[in-house]
Structure 1
Amino acid sequence: MEIRKRWSDFLFREVSIAPLIAFRIVIGLLFLFSTVRFISNGWIKQLYIDPPFHFTYLGFDWIRPLPNDWMYLPFIALIVASLGIIFGAFYRFSSILFFLAFTYVELLDKSYYLNHYYFVSIIAFLLIWLPAHAQFSIDAKRSPSIQRNTIPQWPIFILRFQLGIVYCFAGIAKVNSDWLLEAQPLRMWLQAFRDLPLVGNLLATSWVAFVFSWFSCFYDLTIPFFLSKAKTRNIAYFFVIVFHILTWLLFPIGVFPWVMIFSTLIFFPASFHNKWLNPLQKWLRWKSIQTELKITRSKPVIACLSVFIIVQLLIPFRYLVYPDNLFWHEEGFRFSWRVMLMEKKGYATFYVEDRATKGSIEITNSDYLSPQQIDQMSRQPDMILQFAHFLGEKYADTTLHFGSKSVHLWRPKVSADVYVTLNGRPNQHFVSRETDLMQEEYNLKHRKWILPLEK
C-alpha cells in the first residue's frame, strides 16, 4: 500500500505545463520537417509505389499501400496533423490522425524499419492522451475553459520515461562481446573515414574505435539519469548535443540525432522552457488565463501508465525466449532499441523447383524488390521466408520451361542459397538450398532452418 501511495503521489504532483507545451511545439516541428523531407526526396514512389511486393509485419498482412498516387494521401494527412499539433488546433484529432497515418505507413513494409520511426509512433500515441493543448494553442484560444498553467506530473514523466527507455536499452544492447571486446562494427565503419584530412588516420585507429564503443555504451546507460539531476543536467545535455551531432556527421542515420537532441529538452525545468515560451507568447499577443487546476487522482490513469511502463520494459527482452545468437537470427531484434549495433550483409539466391522433375529456375530478386528490400531481405530470416512464400504463390499453377521440357507447377518447391557476414566475420552459410521454404511456417517460433553461426 505504501508503494502504491508513493507512486500515486509522484504521478499526480502538481507541476508547470510549460515543458509539455514546449515539447508539443518542438516535436510537431520535427514531425513536419521529417514528412516534408520524405516527400521531397521522392521516397514515397521509390519505397511504396514502385515495388510490387512489400514485407508486411506478422499479423498485419491486411495492410497494403494505397494504389498509385493515392499513396501520397497519408503523407498529406501527416503534414496537416503536424501543423495541428504545432499550433494546438483540433489537437486530439491531429494527434490521432498523425499516429494512425504514421503507423500505417510504417506497417506497410518492415524493410524500412528504423528505431526512430518506432519512437515516433510511440510518442504520437502518447500525445493523444496528454493535455498538451491546454495552454498556448488555438484550442485554448477557442475554448478558454481548457486552459491550465499547471498539470499533474504524469504527462511529463511518461515522456521522460520513454526517452530513458530508448537510451538505457540501447546501452544494454551494447553490452556484448562484439561491441566491447572487438569494437565491432565501429572498427570497420570508421575505416571509411581514413582519407579525411587531419582526423582520418586518427579515426581509423583501433583504439579510437574502442574508446567510441565503450563511451557510447556508458553514455546510453547513464545519460537519462544525468539529465534528471539538476546538478548534472547542463553538462549532460552538452554531451547529448556532441554525441548526436557526431553520429549525424559520421553515419547516415537521417533525422534521429535531431529528434533526440530536441526531445531531451523535456528533462529541463519549466523555468528553462519559459525563457523562450514567454517572449514567443508576448510576440504573438497570447493572453494566458490564470486557472486553478483541481488535481484528482485517477485509478484508470495509474493503471494505464503502469501497464504501458511494464510493456515497454518487457518487449526489448523478448529475445531471451529464443536460443542462439540474436544478431544472427534476429528473432526479437526489432522494437528493442538496438541502434547501430551490427554490420550484417547477405547474398540470397532463390530457386523455384518442380518437385517431380527437379527442374528449377533461378529468380532475379530485382524483378520484384527494390535495392533496399533486397539488402534487408538477404540477411533477415523472416523476410527470406516471406519472399519465398510470395514466389511459391506466384509460380503455383503455372507452366515453366526447363530446357526443352514444359512443366506445369502445382505446388513448387522454393529454396534459397544464402550467405551472410556478421561484424567482420567471413561469409557463412545462412540458409541451405536443401531447405524447402514452402514447408516452413511464418510465425514467432524459432526458425530451426537457419544454419548456426560459426563463432
Structure 2
Amino acid sequence: MNRLCSWAFRPVDIAPLVFFRIFFGVMMAYHIWSMKRDHWVQYFYIDPEFHFSYPGWSWIHPWPGDGMHLHFTVLLVAALGISLGLFYRLSTLTFFLGYSFVFLLEKSLYQNHCYLICLISGIMFCIPAHRACSLDQLIWRRPATQVLPQWTLWLLKLQIAIPYFYGGLAKLNYDWLFTQPIGMWIGRRAEVPVLGPLMSTDWAPWFFAYGGLLFDLLIVPALLWRRTRLAAYLVSVGFHLTNHILWDIGIFPWFMIGATLIFFPPEYFRKLAHLPRLNINAQTLSPRSRWTQPLTVCLLLLYVSWQLIFPFRHLLYPGNVSWNEEGHHFAWHMMLREKDVGIRFYAYDPVSRQRGLIKVEEFLNSRQLSRMGKDPDMVLEFIHHVRDHYRERRNTELEIYVLNIASLNGRKPQLLMDPRVNYAAIDRVWTHQPWVIPLEEPLRKESWNVPLDRWESVLNLDIPPEMQLVRAR
C-alpha cells in the first residue's frame, strides 16, 4: 500500500489535464448542441410513449412537459462550465448525472462512445483540472496549481486506452477473423469519396479486418512508448478519419483524435500554450491526512478492477454474444455484428379466442424498430409494455407470441426466439434466457442475400400452425 500510494501521489504536471478539460467541455457542448439542432430531444425522448431500458433501470422516465428540453439546455451550460473551469465541480457533477440519465433513458440509442462519455465525465468530477487556466481560479483569486497527483493523469489514460484494447480483444472471434461483418459493409461503400474505389478490391476486407484488429491491440502500447508515440498518433488520426468517412458514428472519431493526445508528455502541452517547462522535481503536493491516500488508492483499485473485469461478463452466458446479446453492452464490442431481422408479434385472447397481429409501429419509432428485434431482452420488454397496455385500457390478459427470424453476419436466417413461448408470462431476468434459440447456422462464404419478404417461403422453419395461418391470410 505504501508503494502504491507513493506512485499514485507522485507529482505530475497539470498541463495535460487542463488541455483535456477544455477539449472535453468543448466537444460535449458541440455534442449536446447537435442533438438539440437535429431534434433528437423531441423525437427520441419526448414523442415516444415507451422507452427501452437497461435491466434494473426501468424506473428512469423522461421529464414531463418541456423538461427534457430544459434538461439538455442545462447539459449544454454544464459542458461550457467544464471547458471554462467555471463552477467546475458543480458543472462536472451536473453533466455526469444529467448525461448518464439521458444515456440510461433509451437503450435503443446505445453507443459505446456515449458510455465512454458517462465514464469520463464521472472521472472529470474527481480530477481537480480547474486549478489552472480556469475562471474559478480567477473568480476566487486562487494561485494556479502546477501539479496534481499522478493517478489523475493515469486514470484518464487508462479510460481512453480500454475502448481501444478491449475493442481489439472483442475482434478475436471467428466471424471477424474471416472478415465479417466488415467485408459486407465495405462492399457497400463503393460510392464513398476518396476511399470508394478501394472498397471493391478483393484484399480490402482482409486489410480492414486485420488492420483494425492490430490497430486496436497495439495502438496503446505504441502510444506509451516514446519512440513510437508520434507515428502511432498519426496512424490513430488516419484510422479515425477513415472511420468518419466510412461510417456514421457521430462525434466518436473526433473525440478520440483529441482525447488520444493525453498520451503525450506534459511538455508538449506547455509548448503548445507557449508556457515555460515545469521542473517537476521542484514541485510538491500539499500533505494529506494519513487515511486519505490509502482510501483513494483503494477506491481507484475498485474502479479499475470493475473496468477491467466487467466487459468479460458475456463469458458467463452460454452461446454467441453477438447472437443472444447477453453481455453485449458495456463491453466495448464495436462493429462486430450485422443482424438482419424479420419479426412479428401474435396476440391471443384466451377469453374471446381471438387472434391477431400487433401493429408494432403504433408503439415504437424508427430507431426503436430497427434495434428491438436484434435484442431478445428488448423484445421481451416491449411485449411486457404491450401486455400492460391492453391490460390497463381493455382489461384484457393477452398471450403474446413472437416469430423472430434473424441472420447474423450474412448467415442463413434461423429462429432467434422460441415461437411457442407466451412471452407475456415470462419475467425479465439477469440470467440466461433459455427461450433464446442457440445459433446453429455456420458462417457462409457468400452472404445470404434473399430478400426478407421471401425468407419464410424458402426456409424450412419450425413455425407453429397458428402463425402459419395468420401468415397465409
Q: Same fold (TM over 0.5)?
A: yes
Q: Could you say what secondary structure the match of 1:415 adopts?
A: strand
Q: Could you say what secondary structure the match of 1:68 adopts?
A: coil
Question: Quick one: distance in 2 between partners of 1:72 and 1:195?
Answer: 37
Query: Which one-letter code corresponds to 1:204 in the other structure?
Result: S
User: Which range is displaced more, 390-399 or 330-339?
Assistant: 390-399
Is the 8 Å Cα contact of residues 149 and 285 (structure 2) preserved in structure 1? no
Match of 1:250 in 2: 246
- CA deviation map 1:6-59 (0-9, x unaligned): 332221111110000000000111001101111101111111111111111222
Match of 1:213 in 2: 209
Is the 8 Å Cα contact of residues 352 and 391 (structure 1) preserved in structure 2? no
Summarize the Cα distance change of 1:412–1:265 in structure 2 as closer, same or farther, 3 Å threshold: same
Match of 1:143 in 2: 140
Match of 2:404 in 1: 418
Report how far residue 105 of structure 1 moved: 0.8
Is the 8 Å Cα contact of residues 55 and 109 (structure 1) preserved in structure 2? yes
Report how far residue 345 of structure 1 moved: 2.1
Question: Quick one: distance in 2 between partners of 1:346 and 1:6?
Answer: 54
Q: Could you say what secondary structure the match of 1:259 adopts?
A: helix
- The 5-angstrom pairing of residues 331-346 of structure 1 reads 331-346=326-341
Question: Quick one: distance in 2 between partners of 1:202 and 1:113?
Answer: 30
- The 5-angstrom pairing of residues 371-410 of structure 1 reads 371-396=366-391, 399=394, 410=396
- RMSD, matched Cα: 1.8
Summarize the Cα distance change of 1:419–1:299 in structure 2 as closer, same or farther, 3 Å threshold: same
How many pairs were matched up? 433
Match of 2:286 among 267, 274, 294: 294
Is the 8 Å Cα contact of residues 22 and 277 (structure 1) preserved in structure 2? no
Report how far residue 146 of structure 1 moved: 5.9
Query: Do residues 177 (structure 1) and 174 (structure 2) align?
Result: yes
Match of 2:359 in 1: 364
Query: Do residues 317 (structure 1) and 312 (structure 2) align?
Result: yes
Query: Which one-letter code corresponds to 1:131 in the other structure?
Result: P
Summarize the Cα distance change of 1:326–1:206 in structure 2 as closer, same or farther, 3 Å threshold: farther
Q: Could you say what secondary structure the match of 2:273 adopts?
A: helix
Is the 8 Å Cα contact of residues 418 and 437 (structure 2) preserved in structure 1? yes
Report how far residue 68 of structure 1 moved: 3.4
Query: Which one-letter code corresponds to 2:374 in the other structure?
Result: R
Query: Do residues 351 (structure 1) and 351 (structure 2) align?
Result: no
Summarize the Cα distance change of 1:196–1:159 in structure 2 as closer, same or farther, 3 Å threshold: closer
Query: Which one-letter code corresponds to 1:372 in the other structure?
Result: R
Match of 1:152 in 2: 149
- CA deviation map 1:382-431 (0-9, x unaligned): 100000011111112655xxxxxxxxx64210111111111011221112
Report how far residue 223 of structure 1 moved: 0.9
Query: Which one-letter code corresponds to 2:435 in the other structure?
Result: W
- The 5-angstrom pairing of residues 68-87 of structure 1 reads 68-87=65-84
User: Which range is displaced more, 438-447 or 108-117?
Assistant: 438-447
Summarize the Cα distance change of 1:273–1:387 in structure 2 as closer, same or farther, 3 Å threshold: same
Summarize the Cα distance change of 1:206–1:100 in structure 2 as closer, same or farther, 3 Å threshold: same
Query: Which one-letter code corresponds to 1:343 in the other structure?
Result: E
Is the 8 Å Cα contact of residues 430 and 452 (structure 1) preserved in structure 2? yes
Match of 2:424 in 1: 438
Question: Quick one: distance in 2 between partners of 1:235 and 1:326?
Answer: 35
Task: Please report the TM-score for the alignment, with normalisation by the length of structure 2.
Answer: 0.88
- CA deviation map 1:346-397 (0-9, x unaligned): 1221122112454212111110100110111011011000000111111126
Question: Quick one: distance in 1 between partners of 2:262 and 2:193?
Answer: 38
Which segments of 5 or more consecutive residues in structure 2 lack a partner in the other structure?
Answer: 277-281, 442-473
Question: Quick one: distance in 2 between partners of 1:142 and 1:392?
Answer: 56
Question: Quick one: distance in 2 between partners of 1:206 and 1:387?
Answer: 42
Is the 8 Å Cα contact of residues 352 and 392 (structure 1) preserved in structure 2? no
Which segments of 5 or more consecutive residues in structure 1 lack a partner in the other structure?
Answer: 282-289, 400-408
Q: Could you say what secondary structure the match of 2:188 adopts?
A: helix
Summarize the Cα distance change of 1:71–1:199 in structure 2 as closer, same or farther, 3 Å threshold: closer
Match of 2:158 among 158, 161, 164: 161
Is the 8 Å Cα contact of residues 192 and 245 (structure 2) preserved in structure 1? no
- CA deviation map 1:320-353 (0-9, x unaligned): 1100111110100000111111111212211221
Summarize the Cα distance change of 1:387–1:198 in structure 2 as closer, same or farther, 3 Å threshold: closer
- CA deviation map 1:104-143 (0-9, x unaligned): 1111110001000000000000011101001111111123
Report how far residue 202 of structure 1 moved: 2.8
Is the 8 Å Cα contact of residues 192 and 246 (structure 2) preserved in structure 1? no
Is the 8 Å Cα contact of residues 312 and 331 (structure 2) preserved in structure 1? yes
Question: Quick one: distance in 1 between partners of 2:224 and 2:373?
Answer: 42
Question: Quick one: distance in 2 between partners of 1:91 and 1:349?
Answer: 50
Query: Do residues 231 (structure 1) and 217 (structure 2) align?
Result: no
User: Which range is displaced more, 349-358 or 374-383?
Assistant: 349-358
Question: Quick one: distance in 1 between partners of 2:40 and 2:192?
Answer: 30
Query: Do residues 273 (structure 1) and 246 (structure 2) align?
Result: no
Question: Quick one: distance in 2 between partners of 1:127 and 1:146?
Answer: 21
- The 5-angstrom pairing of residues 49-64 of structure 1 reads 49-64=46-61
User: Sequence identity, in percent?
Assistant: 35
Report how far residue 166 of structure 1 moved: 1.1
Query: Which one-letter code corresponds to 2:115 in the other structure?
Result: Y
Query: Which one-letter code corresponds to 1:416 in the other structure?
Result: V
Match of 1:109 among 106, 110, 115: 106
Report how far residue 175 of structure 1 moved: 0.2
Query: Which one-letter code corresponds to 1:143 in the other structure?
Result: W
Report how far residue 195 of structure 1 moved: 4.1
User: Which range is displaced more, 303-312 or 7-16?
Assistant: 7-16
Question: Quick one: distance in 2 between partners of 1:277 and 1:199?
Answer: 35
Summarize the Cα distance change of 1:449–1:151 in structure 2 as closer, same or farther, 3 Å threshold: same
Match of 2:413 in 1: 427
- CA deviation map 1:233-254 (0-9, x unaligned): 1001001100000011001111
Query: Which one-letter code corresponds to 2:416 in the other structure?
Result: F
Task: Please report the TM-score for the alignment, with normalisation by the length of structure 1.
Answer: 0.91
Query: Which one-letter code corresponds to 2:389 in the other structure?
Result: K
